Each structure stands twice: as C-alpha cells, then as structure tokens.
Amino acid sequence: MSMNCPHEAENNAEVENNTTVNFPLREIPGSYGKPFFGPLLNRLKYFHFQGKEKYFASRVKKYQSTVYRANMPPGPFISSDSKVVVLLDAKSFPILFDVTKVEKKDVFTGTYVPSTKLTGGYRVLAYLDPSEPNHCKLKQLLFFLFHSRREFIIPEFRTSFGEMFDTLERKVATKGKARFDGLNDKACFNFVCRSFFSTNPADTKLGIRGVPTKILVWILFQISPIASTGLPCFLEEPLFHTCLLPPCLMKHNYKKLYDFFYTYSGWILDEAEKMGIEREEACHNLLFAACFNAFGAVRIFFPILIKWIGRAGIKVHKQLADEIRSAVACHGGNVTVKAIEEMPLLKSSVYEALRIEPPVPFQYATAKKDLVIENHESTFEVKQGELLFGYQPFATKDPKVFDRAEDFVADRFVGVEGEKLLKYVVWSNGPETENTTDIVVLVARLLLVELFLRYDTFEVKIHTSPLFPLVTFTSVTKCNGLSLEKQMQ
C-alpha cells in the first residue's frame, strides 16, 4: 500500500534463498479439515473465537513450527480454495517477495479477488504479476508521477498537515482533547491531491466534505471478506464474510472519484498514452494508487505511528525534537530530504513502528515451481501452485532476530548494528534495505518532523478498533515549553 509498485522486490539482484543442507527436511504440519466445514470453522476461529493473533500463535505452539498448513478467510462462499502454507518467521518470510520463485498474480487480497467493477473493469497494478505485459508500463507510470512531483511532496505535506495541527491545537485548547482520525483523513486526502495532482479538492466539484469516508467505504467493499468490523458474529458473518458486497452500491461515488482524477491528471494520462496505456486504464490505476495505496496506507499508519511515539514518553520526545530541530537548523531552517537523512533517530522510530505494527499485515504469493523453504529449525518442501501466506506482525517480531521483539525501541535501527536489522523490516514491498520510492515511509518521517517542530511533547489516549488504533490528543506542549492549555489561560 504505497505509491510505488507493489512488487518492488523484483528489482533485487537476488533475494536470499535461505536453504542449507544442514537443516532437516520436515513435512509441513497442519491440516485443512473437511471441505467446506474446515474453512468455515477456521474463519469463525480467526474472526470470533480466537482472533488473528491467537489463531496463528496457537498453531505455532500445537505444531511446534512457524511453517504450517491452514485455511485463511474468507472461505465459503467467496473463496473456492482457502488452503495456504503459513510463514510466520523472519527466515521463511522473504520468499514471498522473490518473484523468480513465486507469482503475485491476483493475490493482493489473498484467497479471493474483488470484483473488477470496483476498479472500472480493470485488473489494476496491485493484482498483476511482474510477468504480465502491463505491469512494467503501469509501474513506470507511477514512478513517472512520483519523480515528476517529488519537489512538491514536502511543501504540500507541510501545508496540509500544518492546517491539520492548527485545527488540532484549537480543539485541544477549547475542548481539552482532539480526535486524530477525522483530521488525519482530511489532511491525507488534501496532501495526495495537492502534491501529485496540483489540486485542492475543496476548490473542485468533488469537494472535501465526506470524500475520505467515501474512499474508506470503497476500500471496505474490496477487503470486507478479510476484515473485522467489530460487529457481533451473527451480523458480521452474513453481511461481510459470506458474500461480496454488491459493487453497484459504489458505482455513483466511484464515478465521482474517477471524474475528479480524470479531470486533474491529464498530463499524466498523456504520458500514459505515450507508454502504450489506455487513458481509462491509466486513470483507474492512478485512482487506486492515490486512494488505496497512498491515502489508505497513510490513513492507517499515521495513527499507529502516533500511538507508539506517544507511548515512548517524554525522553524519546526530547531526543526526537532535538535531533529534528538541529538538522533543520543546519539546513537554513528548511525541511529537506537531505535534512531528513541526517535524522537517524527519526528514521529508526518510523522503521520501528513499521516493524512492530505493520499497516499491511498480510502477504501472499503462489509457488511458481517446487520450492524448499527454510525457517530457523527445518526445511520444508512446497509444491508448484501452492499458495504461500505470511502474517507480517509475526515475521517482524521474530524473537530470534529482534531482542525485546514485543517492545517499541525507538533507536533500534540506529548505528551500524541497528542498520543490519533493516533487512528484516518488511511491510509492503519487501525489505527496507531496498532502493524503493516509498511515499509512506517518507511522509511518516515528515509527520514526526512537523510534530516535533511544533511541540516538545504530547499526550494521547488510545482506543482499539478492528482496523487501526483510534488516537485522541489530550495535551500538546508547544516548543516554547508552555502547554497549550496554559498559553490559552
């Protein structure tokens, strides 16, 4: 879920094979149960009886293995085949990104594919394997967009989120608290449109009121079979996990979004035609990249980042504030990419949040050929055509790789030894050591820069929700040392 191509790892010279003759060959443990009833029971356990974490952890304990067979939702009646080989450790996980060994066709959402009616009748880039003809063209188009607009990213981010923090401050001052999610939604969409399409949504026919909610509903229509809504089992199962939501219900709102992007991305569509991509297909892919990949990922990850930075406490806040302000001062008071690269604690903090709670928790791939996969203790044979599944929060919290794996350690990736661990940080496209154009990582750093240029510290309250944490700011202390509440008195 980033502005760059979903299969960036294809550019690796080589992805680590992780096979050695010293490890014993073991049959992959686990079973799928009886047809229909096995997947159905597993779905109920996954969503309601156990929950995701226990669903995976209980089987690791039962089979004494981080590699095993299981069913993954949605199962009946949406998915015709729920069988997967589960990979839950840092050593087996990288195979999911090695496109010389696995295929990424139609596995973006796992064991089912949403209706293409939700994307204008096209299979967008996220569902294409690198071997498919349009994959390379569409990938190049997104890179063209990013590189053409890269100089606008920082100023437009600061404008959009500067407005957001101004509003947040006023709410904290007058009400003693401010919900982050609604303000963040508006700022995220404004930023995406301003930075990549030179357009302020509020000044267009589309407007801004209610648009982020419409996008989130459109995303829900695509991921509802694998998402938990928090509703009781007797409501959630028939409404969201038994059949796909009718795409016709999104037709009107999607057309509004499509018309907006078609109107304000003409220069990009011209470039698409030069590349041999139809304008309509290019526009639907731009919409998906902007609304699902960029907006969707940032909308989920920013509350996660604020949660963990907020919990890190005042000592970490001071260290981040000092580092950020010092680096910006050294660059004439300007926030630049070069200045950000001189903020090691900032970069480490963002990577640590991605490690401990990756916003995209699932990865799927289909074995192109018979494979041998290795975890920390054994090797396993996988047959051609089997679907591999990785749950990232387990892989990126592998205790055999990360010390204090369940703890947020802001400076974990600082220094030579810390940087060596970055190859195990995978959240969307592959290891963070890849030379990727990852808009989510960049803007996450920018969020913390904006935050600590304004505030010495802050306090938040966190409430859990099925998809992401709900964050409420309860206090912000301006960088002159006075809390906002005292300044307003």
Domains with residue ranges and CATH for the chain: 37-478 (1.10.630.10)
At 81, which helix (H) or strand (E)? Answer: none
Q: Do residues 93 and 426 make contact, with C-beta atoms less than 8 angstroms apart?
A: yes
**pLDDT tens, 327-350?**
999 999 999 999 999 999 999 999
Query: Would you say 385 and 30 are in contact if contact means Cβ atoms under 8 Å apart?
Result: no
The pLDDT tens digits for 70-124 are: 999 999 999 999 999 999 999 999 999 999 999 999 999 999 999 999 999 999 9
pLDDT above 70 (res 357): yes
* E strand residue ranges, 110-209: 178-179
In this prediction, residue 467 carries a pLDDT of 79
Report d(CA 342, CA 329) in Å as an integer.
12
How confident is residue 19, by pLDDT bands cut at 50, 70 and 90?
A: very low
Q: How far is residue 402's CA from residue 90's CA, in Å, rounded to a whole number?
A: 10
Q: Could you report the per-residue pLDDT of 237-277, keeping only the tens digit for each?
A: 999 999 999 999 999 999 999 999 999 999 999 999 999 99
Looking up tokens 């963990």, which residue turns up? 308
CB count, 10 Å around CB of 1? 24
The answer to whether 145 and 293 have CB atoms below 8 angstroms apart is no
Closest Cα to residue 88, out of 433, 299, 376, 487? Answer: 376
pLDDT value of residue 336? 96
Q: What is the mean pLDDT of the chain?
A: 92
The overall longest dimension of the chain from CA atoms, in Å, is 71
Under 8 Å between Cβ of 91 and 378: no
**Percentage with pLDDT > 90 across the chain:** 88
* pLDDT on residue 15: 36
**Which whole-number Å values give the CA distances from 349 to 146, 277, 413, in the listed order?**
24, 39, 8
Rounded CA separation 215/207 (Å): 13
The C-alpha atoms of residue 211 and residue 187 are separated, in whole angstroms, by: 12
Residue 66 banded pLDDT, cuts 50, 70, 90: very high
Q: Which pairs count as long-range contacts for 319-324, CB under 8 Å and 24+ apart, including other chains?
A: 319/345, 319/410, 320/345, 320/346, 320/349, 320/410, 320/448, 320/452, 321/452, 321/455, 321/456, 321/457, 321/479, 324/448, 324/449, 324/452, 324/453
- Tokens representing 170 are 């006023």
Residue 5, pLDDT > 90, answer no
pLDDT digits (tens, 9 = 90+) for 186-224: 999 999 999 999 999 999 999 999 899 999 999 999 999
Do residues 438 and 426 lie in contact, with contact meaning Cβ atoms separated by under 8 Å?
no
Q: Which residues fall within 8 angstroms of residue 19, CB to CB, at 6 or more apart?
A: 372, 373, 374, 379
Asked if residue 345 lies in contact with residue 319, where contact means CB atoms within 8 angstroms, the answer is: yes
Looking at 198-313, list the stretches that DSSP marks H as alpha helix, in order from N- to C-terminal side. Answer: 211-223, 233-236, 251-264, 266-275, 279-288, 297-312
